[in-house]
Amino acid sequence: MASSASGLDEPMERLHREWREVVQARRIVVKIGSNLLTGGGEGLRPDWIAARAQEIVALMATGRRVVVVTSGAVAAGRPLLKLNRPLASVQEKQAAAAAGQGVLMRHYEEAFDTLGVHVAQALLTRDDVENRQRYLNARDTLKTLLELGLVPIVNENDTVMTDQLKFGDNDTLSANVADLVDADLLILLSDIDGLYDSNPRIDPSARFIPLVERVTPEIESMAGGVGSLVGKGGMATKIKAARMAARSGCRMVLTSGFRKDPISEVFAATPVGTLFLGLENPLPARKRWIVNARVGRGEILLDAGASAALLQGKSLLAKGITDVLGDFSRGAVVHCQSPDGQQVAKGIVNYNSGDLACIAGRHSRQFEGVLGYLGAEEVIHRDNLVLTRELRVSASIQQE
């Protein structure tokens, strides 16, 4: 391997260079898993939580802002149900989460209050980030809390969630929160010390990977199947979180929460865990939301001229629309298809499907006569459009 003037191997030098940026992070999301909170036993460990609160308050004293995404509601609630057996149904898990969330918050409250810092609970669901208005509200509230010097403590709102509407695991939730608050660093505290090229618990020759520049299919294959390693989703959900964080331009450090000072150590000069880099030119927040948004049952078919205009960065006008498929309301996110059947863009539409069908192929001068009201000139404004090409560049997008 090539050695440089610093005496470090080239990849190591790159890692150290990138780590200097990690240390500079100002807005940080720390994700804490259940195994750490319970230490493998019943109930939560208040001392462990108190020690993490100390680390976080020390970071805040340097002007940094921190959001905690925490698991542990189910783990804290389970003993309170007094079942003396594992939880058997979704309802029992939701009941445990309902019973345990308060206990979990009490521990965080006590730990931070002692240090003169207040916490604020935020329970989110996937709906909250997929619905544009709720997404904006959640974003504003979290940012306001950070500006006011509180520590938001976020968990999934397990009690009301159905499987279809879940984030499902707190790794995914934490990457969504990092995106919401424009974090520059996401720290996943786990019970494994980073990424290996195979499962180190069964393969003694597993190689540690200190730096991931991009989440490629090869990196994904290292995660193995869901649940192959630790936590609720195993390594797969951690890689998925890294992919999403990268798309927001946010770095992610996966490190062991069993280390002595797992959070402070990230801000020391020596790299710990695995560092996943973020995209250098992330899409703006509005476009990122569109990328993540679920597409309703609707599609807009374009003529060749409109497809070409979109690719040149123009807005979508009704004139270039040949057909409207499916049923959608104004403000929905829909796909746009070129005449050769390719999906060219995804965007927020200014008309519902019924009205759009009436104005398709027409000039905006005719809108008022046809619809009885004067709507927007653009069917999808270019600020509300993400080209499929941009999705690919982001490299990490799960398209519907």
Among the residue ranges 67-75, 238-246, 333-341, 343-351, the one whose residues contact ligand GLU (CB under 6 A): 67-75
Binding mask 140-179 for ligand GLU (x = CB under 6 A): ---------------xx-x----------xx---------
Q: Does 34 bind ligand GLU (CB under 6 A)?
A: yes
Count of C-beta atoms within a 10 Å radius of residue 82: 6
Q: Which is nearer to ligand GLU, 174 or 292 (CB)?
A: 174
The residues near 368 (Cβ < 8 Å, ≥ 6 apart) are: 374
Binding residues for ligand GLU, total number by CB under 6 A? 14
Quote helix, strand, coil % in the chain, to nearest 5. Answer: 45, 20, 40
Q: How far apart are CA 345 and CA 284, in angstroms?
A: 16
Strand pairing report for 343-348 and 385-387: antiparallel
d(CA 102, CA 121): 10
Q: How far is 246 from 220, CA to CA, in rounded Å?
A: 14
Work out whether 184 is an interface residue with ligand GLU (CB under 6 A): no
Q: What SS3 state is found at 387?
A: strand
Q: For ligand GLU, which residue of 60, 74, 119, 379 counts as binding (CB under 6 A)? A: 74
Min dist. Cβ of residue 369 to ligand GLU (A): 53
Q: Please report how close the Cβ of residue 70 comes to ligand GLU at its closest, in angstroms.
A: 7
Token readout for 27 is 């807005």
> Maximum Cα–Cα distance for the chain, whole Å?
74
Q: Is 263:55 a contact under the CB 8 Å cutoff?
A: yes
| Phi, psi angle pair for 284, to nearest 5° | -65, 160
State the amino acid at position 52 in one-letter form. R
Q: Which of these ranges, 1-9, 72-80, 175-183, 364-372, lies near ligand GLU under the rule CB under 6 A? A: 72-80
Quote the least distance from Cβ 102 to ligand GLU, whole Å.
12
Residues in 267-296 that interact with ligand GLU by CB under 6 A: none
Strand, helix or coil for residue 5: coil
Give all strands (DSSP E) within 168-293, no chain letters: 185-190, 195-196, 208-209, 211-212, 251-256, 274-276
The residue among 172 and 388 lying less far from ligand GLU, judged by its C-beta, is: 172
At 371, phi and psi to the nearest 5?
A: -95, -20
The mark string for 215-244 relative to ligand GLU (x by CB under 6 A, - otherwise) is -----------------x------------
- 337 lines the binding site for ligand GLU (CB under 6 A): no
- Supply the minimum distance, in Å, between the C-beta of residue 255 and ligand GLU: 17
The only residue of 48, 67, 71, 99 in contact with ligand GLU, by rule CB under 6 A: 71
The residue within the footprint of ligand GLU, chosen from 49, 73, 241, 283 (CB under 6 A), is 73
Query: Contact region for ligand GLU (CB under 6 A) — 73-81, 108-116, 264-272, 370-378?
Result: 73-81
Torsion sign, CA atoms 128, 255, 261, 169:
positive
CB of 161 to ligand GLU, least distance (A): 9
Q: What six digits make up the tokens of 81? A: 């149900």
Q: Is 72 in the site for ligand GLU (CB under 6 A)?
A: yes
Residue 97 near ligand GLU by CB under 6 A: yes
Residue 38 engages ligand GLU in binding (rule: CB under 6 A)? no
> Nearest approach, Cβ of 22 to ligand GLU (angstroms)?
24
User: Which residues would be at the binding site for ligand GLU (CB under 6 A)?
Assistant: 33-34, 71-75, 97, 155-156, 158, 169-170, 232
